[in-house]
Structure 1
Amino acid sequence: MNIERHRLDSKTENNLNQLGDMVLFIENLMEECLNQVDGKVPNEVLIPILIHRHLLQKADSIHANIDVGAEDASKAIMRTLIENYIYLAYILHSKTDEKSKAYYLAWYKSLKAELQKFQSDHKKSPIINSFLGGELDHLFPGESVQAEIDWIDKKIKAPWLKEINKKWNKVQRKANQSYINWHALFGHPKIRHVAVSVGMEAEYETLYSIYSQETHSTNAMRLLEHRDGISYFKPLRAYEDPDTIISMASTYLWRATDLTLRKLFPEKQSAFHLYSINKQGRLHDEE
């Protein structure tokens, strides 16, 4: 494996370490926030916190990948990080309770749809059975699958989701589609519409679109480089511009955390800001 370029200069390595430090601090801070909630965490708090944690996980993954020289993998992860930030901003922007319910409902509807494929009477089951070597019924007994679906149905039909279910069914009938995104319930059927609604059209048209290329197979052409008229494979692990990825991950993690604290735990925002100020002070001292 050619990892000749797997080298970070001292400034970039310092920035990477700062990202790792930020991830750890924020993880502990958010756990403190949840621990102060009395009783069951409300859904309108839990869903944004889970999306934020998913974003935090992606920032941590970017840190780990950059650390071992896998910069291109970090670009694909950056796409997911930005997507999570868009959805987090969308849910916290307005109608947080209703949007959180829609997000919750979408998760269980999606899970149910996946499980139904493993039922013998589903149109996709012959394909899955063939893939599993004819062992579908053995690996996924019909009774067990149905029991899981019944459990999910109870979640979906919970009384506190009655109104959001009505809205979902109404929007789905109007769209005449078998599948809709949860944000379609609020007039934004695609992620682009969501991004525009929270003032993030520029991020969607640039960063999200650019980093989305890393998830497409046509992007394989980037693995060639040309020097003196001769084509070469790029190293599997190579640094091209790790500073940008590190900076982007740090910036959107900071924004996501600041937004979440401001909307849900304002009493913790000052601690986060103090950490940020001290962090910047350390960076300036080291420079």
Structure 2
Amino acid sequence: MKMFNVVLRESNKISDKVFDEFQGRADNNEFELHDGVIIGLFEDLIAKINSLKVLIDAKCYDSHDIISRSIFEAHVYLKYILSQDTKERGSAYAKSAKLSEFKLYDKLIEESKVGKDLRESLGMSIDDLKNGDLSVSDEAHRSEVTNDYLNLLNTSSAKTLWYNADGKTGSFEQLCIKQGLRNEYEILYRIFSRDVHSNNALSRLKISNNMVQVGNFNIDPKLNTNMSAIFLVESSRSVMEYYKLKQPLRSFNTMLKINHLI
């Protein structure tokens, strides 16, 4: 856990350093949409790793594999966005999220059983929804977001995945492979996922003396913490390199060496 805790502590400081860098710039560069995506994903990565730490400290292992996959997803997205064409890729991610909001809104206001059930679950009426965030129902805004998304990906379909800029990346698995993360994908989505899929249910049952007990898929939590720490180290370095935080990056690498983590 040493590597895990040290990296988490140091990475928590990075977003503030990015904001300080923007405030201190003489060129008055504005904090743009893609910057918000980068910091948002990075903070989400840290928050999820904090959640994993809480679960492991409490010796609650039932859902840490699920959290590990969400940590991996945030890392993959950051790696993809920061590797090249960062402004365009970050903007595509943001526009995709907005399109998902539109779809959810449309589903919520549907005059259908599904729409009604969703509204009842939320305790909201159609009027409540329509009087909320007006941007999701504004046709001009929706059209602008959609057109921006299509132009960013050079596609005619809004169903195109935001990371499929080359027209050859049709799944998250393919994205991982192209980012050089095939092994990590296999571990987290093939091995770990067996613990939560129904086809592994029987392997979790322990039957003896007419007693049935439910057990857990036996994966050492150290594997989760070690992989998460590696993802956080790589993402932290990538963020600092992108924003040219040379001194913080040197300090970060020195900290890792002092603690014998690299």
Q: Shorter-chain-normalised TM-score: which range?
A: 0.7 to 0.9
Point out where structure 2 has 5 or more consecutive residues left out of the alignment. Answer: none
C-alpha distance 149-162 of structure 1, shift in aligned 2 (>3 A) = closer
C-alpha distance 144-212 of structure 1, shift in aligned 2 (>3 A) = farther
TM-score between both structures, scaled by the size of structure 2? 0.81
Partner SS, residue 260 of structure 2? helix
Partner SS, residue 117 of structure 1? helix
Aligned residue type for 1:143: K
**Could you tell which deviates more after superposition, 86-95 or 258-267?**
258-267
Aligned residue type for 2:136: I
Q: Deviations over 1:114-170 (max 9, x none)?
A: 01112244xxx3223145559977365353257242369637726xx9654335573
**How many Å separate the matches in 1 of 2:48 and 2:185?**
18
1:22 counterpart = 2:3: no
1:244 pairs, out of 223, 229, 252, with 223
1:53 pairs, out of 28, 36, 43, with 43
Deviation at 1:30, TM superposition (A): 2.4
1:272 counterpart = 2:262: no
TM-score between both structures, scaled by the size of structure 1? 0.74
1:127 counterpart = 2:114: yes
Deviation at 1:27, TM superposition (A): 1.1
**Contact map agreement 1:109 1:156 (CA 8 A) in 2:** no
Deviation at 1:109, TM superposition (A): 0.4
Deviation at 1:66, TM superposition (A): 0.4
Q: Deviations over 1:75-132 (max 9, x none)?
A: 11111111111111111111111111110100100011101112244xxx32231455
**Contact map agreement 2:82 2:242 (CA 8 A) in 1:** yes
C-alpha distance 20-263 of structure 1, shift in aligned 2 (>3 A) = same
Aligned to 2:71: 81
Deviation at 1:279, TM superposition (A): 2.5
**How many Å separate the matches in 1 of 2:240 and 2:120?**
50
1:208 counterpart = 2:185: no
C-alpha distance 118-52 of structure 1, shift in aligned 2 (>3 A) = same
Identity of aligned residues (%): 17
1:149 pairs, out of 111, 125, 136, with 136
**How many Å separate the matches in 2 of 1:88 and 1:134?**
34
Aligned to 2:162: 182
Give the count of matched residue pairs: 255
C-alpha distance 280-135 of structure 1, shift in aligned 2 (>3 A) = closer
**How many Å separate the matches in 1 of 2:122 and 2:213?**
45
